[in-house]
Structure 1
Amino acid sequence: MKFVKTGIEGLLIVEPQLFKDDRGYFFESYSKTKFAVAGIDIDFVQDNQSFSQKGTVRGLHAQSAPHAQTKLVRVIQGRVLDVAVDIRKGSPTYGKYETIELSAENQHQLLIPEGFLHGFAVLEDNTIFAYKVNNYYAKDCELGVLWNDPTLNINWGIDPSEAIVSPKDELLIKLADLESPFTY
């Protein structure tokens, strides 16, 4: 398992070691021991999974304390463009984001710490997205920013006019209006 730093402190790409043969492949998608050796001590408490069609955009979401979440995200089937936005007040990268393509083919994962908004755009039909979290969902702690906030200017890898977005996500605020509960 390889842990690759991104341009934003704390945000890591996790590349599992794949063992391939004529039958297919095998890999460890998570190992508490290997994460600990890399200096990452997270107690994941829940696994979540979504199924989406091409053009679906989910996000940008986070949860505040006391239910803030660190996420380990991956794709089981299909492809997504995954996005993490730093919203830690005082961070030199506040309002900056990283994108990474996660797919069933590359098996890469993204470790997204507390203090980041998260979202993804589905690039293939019948995509299965899975993630671990270290805290349970709490409606009263949810927060979010519009996926198409012009200040962020994220290229989601899809035609914005064809994006499939939930009514709830269409009502989210702009980053400039967010009073972030996170500190760097």
Structure 2
Amino acid sequence: MLELRQLELPGCLELQPVVRPDARGLFVKTYSEELFEKHGLCCDFAEDYYSISNRNVLRGMHFQTPPTDHFKLVYCSRGEALDVILDLRQSSPTFGRYAELRLSGDRANMVYLPPGIAHGFLSLADNTTMHYKVSTGYSPAHDSGILWNSFGKDWGVADPIISERDRSFPPLSQFDTCFK
């Protein structure tokens, strides 16, 4: 079973798989081609990767541009993160707006994103482990981002730990969207 909840941005979903806790810990099925197909979700994933972040690490806002833009499935297997998504699709009624949710290893909830959505998160605990499943391979020539503090989101932390790369992204106001 898989519960889906539509987020504020069209096509963006929170997914809640069945979590099976017992005396050993818990067991979660994060992906089922049959269930994803049943709900009309992308089942053709090309790459899988993960990151481990300390508390107050902010990663984002990342996306790939066409033709290697992709569907993305993100979940947290350990710790907790404030997950933030930003709509970059010019034809979307929520273009330029963001939505957020908390992902945690205990809840095992996930976020499903269509192409044209920038993604980032703030780690709320040490050793927060985030997993990403994407429908296209990584392409350095199409790798891009939006400056983390340029779209009105208050991240709730005065001085997050951010990579130089993420600090160098253009602000949303200077981004000419390629997601028409």
- State TM-score, norm by structure 2: 0.95
Structure 1 moving runs of 4+ over 4 Å = none
Q: Distance in 1 between matches of 2:107 and 2:147?
A: 28
Give 3-state SS (helix, strand or coil) of 2:177's partner.
coil
The one of 138, 162, 175 equivalent to 1:165 is: 162
Task: Give the share of equivalent positions with the same residue, in percent.
Answer: 34
User: Structure 2, unaligned stretches of length 5 or more?
Assistant: none
Correspondence list, 1:134-153, <5 A: 134-149=135-150, 152-153=151-152
User: Structure 1, unaligned stretches of length 5 or more?
Assistant: none
8 Å CA contact 2:5–2:13 kept in 1: the answer is yes
Q: Does 1:61 align with 2:58?
A: no
Give 3-state SS (helix, strand or coil) of 1:182's partner.
coil
Deviations 1:30-64 (A, max 9, x none): 10110110111330111111011111110101101
Give 3-state SS (helix, strand or coil) of 1:153's partner.
coil
**Cα RMSD over matched residues?**
1.1
Q: Distance in 1 between matches of 2:155 and 2:33?
A: 31
1:66, distance to aligned residue in structure 2 (A) = 1.4
Correspondence list, 1:1-184, <5 A: 1-149=2-150, 152-157=151-156, 159-160=157-158, 162-183=159-180
1:100, distance to aligned residue in structure 2 (A) = 0.6
Amino acid in the other structure paired with 2:170: I
Q: Distance in 2 between matches of 1:147 and 1:40?
A: 28
Count how many residue pairs are aligned between Structure 1 and Structure 2.
179
8 Å CA contact 2:19–2:107 kept in 1: the answer is no
Give 3-state SS (helix, strand or coil) of 2:31's partner.
coil
Give 3-state SS (helix, strand or coil) of 2:56's partner.
coil
- State TM-score, norm by structure 1: 0.93
Give 3-state SS (helix, strand or coil) of 2:119's partner.
strand
